[in-house]
Copies of this chain bind each other. A is one copy, B any other.
Amino acid sequence: MGKQAEITIHDIAKKLGISASTVSRALNNNPLISKATQAKIKETAAKMGYRPNTMAANLRTRKTNTIGVIVPLINRHFFSSVISGIEDVAYNSGFAVTITQSNDSFEKEEKIAQTLYSNRVDGVIVSIGMETTKFNHLKHFSERNIPLVFFDRVVDEIEAHKISVDDFNGGFKATQHLIEQGAKKIAHIGGPLNLNIYRKRLDGFCAAMKKAGLEVDRQMLLHNSLTRTDGTNAIKKLLKNPQKPDAIFCANDTTALSVIIYLVENGIKIPEDIMVVGFSNEPFSEVVTPSISTIRQPGFEMGQKAAELIIEQIKQKNQPSLFQNIVMPTELIIRQSSFKKKG
């Protein structure tokens, strides 16, 4: 088979009768090398089919030009949007991206973090898993001056750049909208409270209720993992209450979808009997019937921003004295599932 030998700078050097250092410098556009020599070296390198061995360079320079990314699940629209944004910016800055998924398992998240460290990634962008309540595996990075950027599911306990959407405001706007549409008994199906995105959405919900002088009924607050099944169970539970809700704010669109499907199946009218608002603006939200009112999260842009921040940190070597806490604005998208009348 065409078992081509691997070509190194030494091969090029030998062929041209010069030293490897000169070849290395020429290929890196080092101005110490004369234009003539550089041209000759580059030409020969191309002709010989030379491809630099990044590992060797990495080992020597102690840089990998690689950004590690940890997300709960790649195959989720929001996360894959973020990844896409990260990849976009990283690629244009000459960085590779290593993607890993924790599957919301703490154990896997820890192992992944170790692997990324062993691979000496230059920086890590992470959104923590649902089970994560300890953070040593992540502190490890900042302790070693390896830039860390959190997005969406951020960690308060660690100093780092953080990018999140305005979950509080999102929860607030969603709830206020329901109130404006005439809701009085609003339920909330939220996520695990160890994740502050869900705490904040809940806080926003409560704040809007309080502002409107409405009571938050304990029975109307449910928390689970926000899967399709969880959503169905939650709506069943809510409908068993003596006090039935006239509106539900779900902490994600998946749950909202479950709720809607269950309600439609059981002949309960949306939005007339019960209004529903979700969170995240998943692609299906727009096209389902009734279409789901939701809070838009700019995933791609968050990814871009995360990559920009981490690359900036990587380039300026030492940790910045001031960490940014970027809160992306949320946008309420009103669709059929909650639209009765002009607010």
Residues on A facing B (Cβ under 8 Å): 1-4, 6, 51-56, 58-59, 64, 66, 73-77, 80-81, 83-84, 87, 91, 96-101, 108, 112, 114-115, 117-120, 143-145, 257, 261, 282-284, 287-289, 300, 319
CA distance A77 to B59 in the complex (A): 37
A118 touches B284 (CB 8 A): no
A144: B residues at CB distance < 8 A: 2-4, 6
Q: Which residues of B contact A287 (CB under 8 A)?
A: 257, 261, 284, 287-288
Known interface pairs A97-B98, A288-B289; 19 further A-B residue pairs with C-beta atoms within 8 A, sorted by A's residue number? A4-B144, A51-B117, A54-B118, A54-B120, A55-B58, A56-B59, A59-B59, A73-B84, A75-B77, A75-B83, A87-B101, A91-B112, A96-B115, A97-B99, A98-B98, A98-B99, A284-B284, A288-B288, A289-B289
Least CB distance, A129 to chain B, in whole angstroms? 14
A55 with B120: CB separation less than 8 A: yes
Q: Which residues of B contact A52 (CB under 8 A)?
A: 118
14 contacts across the A-B interface (CB closer than 8 A): A1-B145, A1-B319, A2-B143, A3-B145, A55-B59, A66-B98, A75-B84, A76-B80, A96-B98, A96-B115, A96-B119, A283-B283, A284-B284, A287-B288
